[in-house]
Structure 1
Amino acid sequence: MAGKFDPQNAQNLMEIEKQFAVKAVEQAQTYWNLMEKVPPRELKLTKFDEEIFNHTIEFFPEFSENDNAKLIKLDEEWMKSEDGKKRWRTFIQMYEKKVKEHNFGCLIRTDARQEYEETNTIFVMRMQFYAIEIARNRLGLNDTAHEIAKAEAAKEAAKKEKEASKKKASK
């Protein structure tokens, strides 16, 4: 007889954790690739972007203060504080039945002006990712990241072209 699943007493199975990590990395790579190809202000992440943006700015007024400093550079300590967790939990619950996989784990850049790298990445819930990245995109805070992604793609294309030329020349 199967009982109800209790997440509080569930074991952390290494294989499941690895699968979540792989999915989070794939999502981050996909988002970075999108930022390379589409100007962030034109990027649409959900069909509720407008609502999520307005709600985020209203629910977290500190994101609008000091030229959006707390959106540009996330404060992980605040996000994980008792107050931060409580506020985010309340925010996220409003999208429970609206946004698919709202509580899946995602990687987010702590500094919007930089790319995904180990020292600039934290793990958040998908709704936190949407709230922060939609706001960053709308406010132009991801414009620098867009330029970085485009420059990286151009370098990579040039490198591949050079390698292809070398192969042709050696035939």
Structure 2
Amino acid sequence: MENNNLKDTLEQLALAEAFGKALKNLTSTNSSNSLRSQANAALLDLYEKTGASSVKVKVNGEDVGTFSLTFSKPVDKTVMVCRDPQKLVEWLRTTDEGKDTLDAVIGKAMDDVLKAAHSYGFFPKGCAMEQVCEPGGLKSSTFKIEPVKVAKALGKQLPTAVAGLITKKVE
């Protein structure tokens, strides 16, 4: 890849990353002041008042989709919990039912069982050590940009509304 091509590609990637970060912040459900959280709260309020769980989304008067809430089903069930791990281990080791239970769990969690045995220095019967070789390769790349700097660098090439989105100064 030529330096100019890399430079152009990195500029485009910087702009895309700036948009991505800004949009992720606006659409995040983890932030109480994001647009998505505000929309969720408003629709939940509407649902509590009217029972409406879905609304049409319009942009400049045009229908562009819907926004709706989904609810989890209520849970009311009885579940088994362990109050005495020592007694559980004894049951697993000494009863046919416990041994059958262990067989089922070991089948589903073989890697975890072997890692636990190995971490304690045990070498269980029926196991073997095998060499695993995998060639190294590119693991990841890191691309960090500051959206405000991208907006400033593009200056007049970037419409004001888009620059405001990137710099978090939306009017």
TM over 0.5: no
Question: Which protein has the larger Cα radius of gyration, Structure 1 or Structure 2?
Answer: 2
- Tell me which interval the TM-score lies in, with the shorter structure as reference length: under 0.3
Higher helix share: 1
- With normalisation by structure 2, the TM-score equals 0.22
